[in-house]
A and B are shown apart, each in its own frame.
Chain A
């Protein structure tokens, strides 16, 4: 069994001296960001210019284009700082860290970002906001997972009718409101031509919460789906997947037999075992997303993405999107694509899974066909524009309490 995922970045180091608390920053504040990403920073893999509208990839001229979205989705953790926070009331969200991960998502050509916004964890909930908004502004779809990393708080809230509506309203207000696109014509089909938002209702409910498959469908997913579609039909509701090993397919099948397809927009699988692929039915009458898939061990990352992802798409005919697990987490040598380290007053990202990184970057370069690519920093000059506002914090505190 894989270890519990999604834990906050915490390596025990104290916060860097001199870093300021940025939570109260609002859109429009200009601040030059450090270009700490060691993977090349802006411009890689092409040489983008920073002006003009964003023509779609495939234009024949030399105008800079946005990075082609050719690598599916990626799981991103709501990283807001490295090290513990001695003052949880005054949340620290390091802009450099948010920019670092968001830049990697954009430059590596991912078309979707999946991130957990845990209700019970104020810091991580608020930290998920800029990741989602920046991704959507860049035309990247965002899957927001309504799940806590530990405990039953959110599950209890989603089960109880009155609290459910209050909680879903919070998520809808904070995450489903579309941001302004970074530039017109960013190429998405979402509202205001930005990336779409999807809400995934809980994560692996049997494995993490002890909720049986049929109970999940009837008592959690169905009421959440009904409420969300009534309030905001544009929101995509994604069912929870189950564990990606051989225990998972029977649970997903039990969900499907309990009526899953009629109360979700996307059926969701996790796949961490090749043996599980043929057990996951191709007979689903709904679009399938694989919102987690990866291999434990850095050396296995590239073969998994290069060889197993096509097998998944071939064997599960309804599958349209796979989210690689994951971009960064605190455990070296297991799943993560990047390592993120403090470097003086800023941070750097190191391609720990170098072979996979190069594979993804090459796919982007091939799709770009030599055209210049718009740099992340050109499109998002200040990540703080997407930070939680005071209204967001008030909305959260009103539901969760401070």
Chain B
């Protein structure tokens, strides 16, 4: 089915005009201010609080993947008047429907006899959630239940707890896991999170491991650098007790107005055995205009302002730093009874986000990793070249530029066993038609690993074509 046929199909089903602009002609709706020029034309800042009449298409994704077989994935989401967002998707055998309003989130999915349900209610001071899953080899006719509660103690501090129970009561124990944690957003420049928990895990051999674990992470903006760190520890008690520790550190440093360097390391130790796994990576990226890190700049400041203001009005929102989280937050606040009060702040954040868009033009990344448990060593290199809109040479800076074309090429070599090497080559060509619409064509060829050869699996070639439309992105 052509993705363009979906709005028309919806129109046919619902007897109303398909909501929103057809993707091929996704003209900006009610630009807030002067927009930015994209290959498909100018786009301003849409008003998400405008009600749908009664539906408006806000998400449309279609992907076809061809390997040994062809798999189609489709997802669509519509805004229903001013009440919420209704979504449906399928990918292969998986089906999912969802409903999202400002305070309520519901979801149901199923795949080959395994069914999952999720519900969440966002109150002014807490978020109460519950997930349930049944079917499949793990749960059989029983249910795996996962309730969670997050309580906001202050605008920047949340504490949360979750637990998991299994009605089949493996090892005569309903409770399978529980944890307690916190998230502290001290403005945009620093964020810390921590969590401790216990998990009762029945291994395939049939005995139980009691795993006590804790993790502490922090991310901060220090001058022109973003520093991220994480440390964790796990103590396993059971027939084969052990203690494992690990951590990661990453730095993103703006070396010049248009040059970003990134480096990171991830390690995993086991007491007595030393380093069990590691991953080291480094990357440099050249941009077509001045780059902005997520926790610096005007958008970050406005994100904090919006979150604090929304929380003060009972919306219970965190500071959002990614485009995806900010879009979800915009959608929720647009459904709020106080949406009119948030309208300007929402638009200001969106405008700042668009103004600070990053336009990567050239990039190079290297990765070295090893995991002693499966005995796999990985080396990888990735490179990309981007063409901005309007087209310009990489050395020319243009503050009006937006991402347009991007060609990625990657090489990855996994070595397992004694010198059995499996190389994967992959490339993709992405076309950003405007801020809301992308086309991606990907290709990859993977050599079989030693285990693949043993199992009779040969070389794999994958071709993938994807179309994405995301209103208000």
Contact = CB atoms under 8 A, between A and B. Distances in A.
Contacts of A275: 272
Given A160-B456, A209-B417, A283-B240, A215 B274 contact: no
A192 interface: no
A26 interface: no
Contact of B272 (A207, A261, A262, A278): A278
A250 B277 CA distance: 12
Nearest to A279: B272
A156 interface: yes
A210 B375 contact: yes
B203 A258 contact: yes
B206 interface: yes
Contacts of B375: 206-207, 210, 212, 247, 251
Residue of A215, A246, A258, A275 contacting most chain B CB atoms (<10 Å): A246
A165 to B, nearest CB: 17
Interface string B221-240: 00000000000000000011
Main secondary structure of the interface of B (DSSP, over half): loop
A159 interface: yes
A251 B374 CA distance: 8
Contacts of B420: 209-210
A354 B274 CA distance: 35
Interface stretch (B78-86, B100-108, B136-144, B445-453): B445-453
Interface in A244-264: 246-247, 249-251, 253-254, 256-262
B370 to A, nearest CB: 10
Contacts of A57: none
Contact of B239 (A156, A210, A251, A281): A281
Nearest to A155: B454
B454 A256 contact: no
Given A152-B454, A253-B240, A206 B204 contact: no
Size category of the B interface is: 20 to 34
B205 A257 contact: yes
Given A156-B454, A210-B375, A256 B416 contact: no
B451 A211 contact: yes
B373 A251 contact: yes
Contacts of B324: none
Interface in B358-392: 372-376
A250 B372 contact: yes
A208 B456 CA distance: 18
Interface residues of A, number: 35
Contacts of A279: 272-273
A20 interface: no
B58 to A, nearest CB: 42
A250 B451 contact: no
Interface in B392-423: 416-418, 420
A120 B376 CA distance: 25
Given A209-B450, A259-B205, A159 B455 contact: yes
Nearest to A212: B374
A260 B454 contact: no
Contacts of A209: 417-418, 420, 450-451, 454
Contacts of A261: 205
A213 interface: yes
A214 B454 CA distance: 15
Given A4-B418, A211-B454, A281 B204 contact: no
Contacts of B272: 246, 275, 278-279
A148 B375 CA distance: 19
A302 B286 CA distance: 61
A207 B420 CA distance: 11
A58 to B, nearest CB: 39
Contacts of A155: 454
A261 B376 CA distance: 25
A208 B417 contact: yes
A320 B393 CA distance: 72
B273 A210 contact: no
Nearest to B414: A210
A205 B375 CA distance: 10
Nearest to B209: A257
Interface string A212-251: 1111000000000000000000000000000000110111
Interface in A327-344: none
B373 A260 contact: no
A160 B276 CA distance: 32
A250 B273 contact: yes
B125 to A, nearest CB: 42
B270 interface: yes
A245 to B, nearest CB: 9
B372 A256 contact: no
Nearest to A255: B205
A207 B417 contact: yes
A210 B270 contact: no
Nearest to A209: B417
A281 B241 CA distance: 9
Contact of B273 (A152, A246, A257): A246
Contact of A207 (B205, B418, B449, B453): B418
Interface string B255-291: 0000000000000001011101000000000000000
A68 B9 CA distance: 87
A210 B204 contact: no
Contacts of A246: 272-274
B240 A257 contact: yes
Most B Cβ at <10 Å: residue of A152, A210, A257: A210
B274 A210 contact: no
A284 to B, nearest CB: 9
Contacts of B376: 210
A110 B373 CA distance: 34
Contacts of B451: 209-212, 215
A275 B420 CA distance: 28
Contacts of B209: 257
A206 B455 CA distance: 15
A207 B417 CA distance: 5
B454 A159 contact: yes
Interface string A39-65: 000000000000000000000000000
Given A246-B272, A260-B205, 15 more contacts: A152-B453, A159-B455, A206-B373, A206-B374, A207-B418, A208-B417, A209-B417, A211-B417, A211-B450, A212-B373, A212-B451, A246-B274, A250-B273, A256-B239, A259-B206
Interface of A: 4, 152, 155-156, 159-160, 206-215, 246-247, 249-251, 253-254, 256-262, 275, 278-279, 281, 283
13 contacts: A4-B418, A209-B418, A210-B374, A212-B374, A213-B373, A250-B372, A250-B373, A251-B375, A257-B205, A258-B204, A262-B205, A275-B272, A283-B240
Query: Which 10 pairs of residues, A with B, have the shortest CB-CB distance?
Result: A210-B416, A210-B417, A210-B450, A257-B203, A259-B205, A247-B372, A206-B375, A212-B374, A246-B273, A209-B417
